[in-house]
Amino acid sequence: MRVPPGLPRWHCRDGPRLRIRRCRQPGSVLPRRCCYPSLRRVWRALVPVTDGLTYDIGAIGGTSTITVDANGNRIGQYTSLAGTDNNCADGITPWGTWLSCEETESRVGSAGNTKNHGYVFEVDPSSREANVGKSFVQMKFMGRYSHEAVAIDPPTSAVYLTEDASNPNGLYLRWTPPSGFMPGKDALRQLAQSEGGDIAGALQAMICYRGSTHVPDLAEATRPGTRYTVRWKDVPDRDAATTSVPRQFSDEQITRSRKLEGQWWADGGAFFVSSFARTTDGSANEHDGQVWFYDPASESITLKTIFGVNANPDVEGNNFDGPDNITVAPQGGLILAEDGNGISHLVGVTADGKSYPLARNDFNDSEFCGPAFSADGKTLFVNIQSPGFTLAVTGPWGRPSNSSTR
């Protein structure tokens, strides 16, 4: 592997095949013009208050956009959203924007905030000017809670949302647009600013069943291939005026999961991640990562892969833990960004649910985040959260084989 001087050193399972370039300077944050997801967390970096782009002058988060050419070379970068709090995994839209998600429930007056936080915002990657007067508009209709990631069903424009919460554990949610909604750039913002826009559409939480038996916790599933049918229940107060969204339901009403994290729309549905579970946090069983697939056609979810509890996270091997962000490789299979204990990897998962190490961070113990491929499938962009590297990784890429994985 060719690694320019001063850059993180990665190890790859198949030898020196991947080329790595750093696309930006340490300390800068977030996505690129091609609409790749944001750096996993931005609250440690101070995003400047910017006229026409700032939601809350008291908050220091936001997004920056990196522009790259067809070969993945960095051209420039600019602030595209400011004044937000703890922006997280986010997600792309079918109309070429991305939705930036605040992983917080902080209220006005907390840590200098002048507004409530815990919302979704839409950022246009086409130019800085395209966001002026627009990107700071919060989508209240998608709820105020500890958002992690979104995935959108292109035919229906339904938005699926993960909640990274504990005590109680988080929910998997769906926002369904109102009748007559026409998707496209500015459509969500215009809906948010319309009369009654705060409660436009329907925000619902997922309930799972095994036959006729309610499943209160996704950690009940311990075998890949486990399948649950899905129903949906309305969120009573999506802006959480007095009670947080997850506390608006009893355990008998809903299905919860510890550490719901990244998700990605592909193959007609949403792949989404539960990072880990412990019985001490109220989970039914312990694991160090699940990947589920939600199929809207059959209204079901299926467990695609699961990682057992990693007893030796500092030892190299196939003992992965804490998957977080996720993308689907154009060549087939999944790529997970590990955010566990010990060694941090990019982890590949085959179509059969078998996992293998794709890359390892030898630079420090920070997590990988925001993996996403360029539109032509030739370049994988991924971040190292701290000190804020964005890496462009080229192949050659191929379809992963089940024969050489665990």
Give DSSP secondary structure letters for 128-168. SGGGTTTTT-B-GGG-SSBEEEEEE-TTT--EEEEE--TTT
Q: What is the DSSP string of 231-268?
A: EEEE-S-TT-SSS-GGGGS-TTTS-BBTTEEEEEEETT
Among the ranges given (195-199, 310-314, 333-337), the one the predictor scored with the smallest mean pLDDT: 310-314
Distance CA 85, CA 105 (A): 9
Q: What is the mean pLDDT of residues 299-318?
A: 89
Of 81, 244, 59, 269, the residue nearest 167 (C-alpha): 244
**pLDDT band, very low/low/confident/very high, at 34 (cuts 50, 70, 90):** very low
Q: What is the mean pLDDT of residues 190-203?
A: 98
Considering Cα of 114, then 120, then 125, then 126, what sign does the dihedral take? negative
pLDDT (0 to 100) of residue 45:
53
pLDDT (0 to 100) of residue 389:
87
**pLDDT band, very low/low/confident/very high, at 388 (cuts 50, 70, 90):** confident
Output phi, psi for 188, to 5 deg.
-65, -45
pLDDT (0 to 100) of residue 404:
55
- Per-position b or e across 181-210, b if 16+ CB within 10 A of its CB: beeebebbbebbeeeebeebbbbbbbbbee
Radius of gyration of the chain (CA): 20
- The answer to whether 324 and 337 are in contact (CB under 8 A) is yes
Mean pLDDT of the chain: 87
pLDDT (0 to 100) of residue 396:
82
Q: What is the mean pLDDT of residues 241-266?
A: 96
Q: What is the mean pLDDT of residues 75-103?
A: 95
Q: What is the DSSP string of 365-383?
A: SPPEEEEEE-TTSSEEEEE
Higher pLDDT, 110 or 4: 110
pLDDT (0 to 100) of residue 48:
87
Q: Is 395's pLDDT higher than 90?
A: no
Give the neighbor-by-neighbor strand order of the sheet with 19-22.
19-22, 389-394, 379-384, 368-373
Among the ranges given (309-313, 367-371, 399-403), the one the predictor scored with the smallest mean pLDDT: 399-403
Tens of pLDDT, residue by residue over 137-190, are 999 999 999 999 999 999 999 999 999 999 999 999 999 999 999 999 999 999
Q: Characterise 33 by phi-psi region: left (phi > 0), alpha (psi -120 to 50), beta (else).
A: alpha
Q: What is the mean pLDDT of residues 368-390?
A: 91
Higher pLDDT, 3 or 371: 371
Among the ranges given (91-105, 270-284, 315-329), the one the predictor scored with the smallest mean pLDDT: 315-329
Q: Is 57's pLDDT higher than 90?
A: yes
Q: What is the mean pLDDT of residues 41-65?
A: 82
Output phi, psi for 111, to 5 deg.
50, 35
Output phi, psi for 190, to 5 deg.
-60, -35
Distance CA 258, CA 256 (A): 7
- Percentage of the chain with pLDDT > 90? 69
pLDDT (0 to 100) of residue 69:
87
Tell if the pTM clears 0.75, that is, is over it: yes
Among the ranges given (1-5, 116-120, 135-139), the one the predictor scored with the smallest mean pLDDT: 1-5
Instruction: Please give the span between the terminal C-alpha atoms of the chain, in angstroms, as a whole number.
Output: 23
Of 86, 178, 79, the residue nearest 135 (C-alpha): 79
DSSP code of residue 329: -
CA contacts within 13 A on the Cβ side of 226 = 17
**pLDDT band, very low/low/confident/very high, at 14 (cuts 50, 70, 90):** very low
Strand 61-68 to 147-152 pairing: unpaired
Q: Is 193 helix (H, G, I), strand (E, B) or coil?
A: helix
pLDDT (0 to 100) of residue 405:
55
- Type of residue at 275: S
Q: Is 93's pLDDT higher than 70?
A: yes
**pLDDT band, very low/low/confident/very high, at 18 (cuts 50, 70, 90):** very low
pLDDT (0 to 100) of residue 23:
47
Distance CA 34, CA 53 (A): 20
pLDDT (0 to 100) of residue 271:
98
pLDDT (0 to 100) of residue 33:
30
**pLDDT band, very low/low/confident/very high, at 334 (cuts 50, 70, 90):** very high
Q: What is the mean pLDDT of residues 259-280?
A: 96
Tens of pLDDT, residue by residue over 72-85, are 888 999 999 999 99
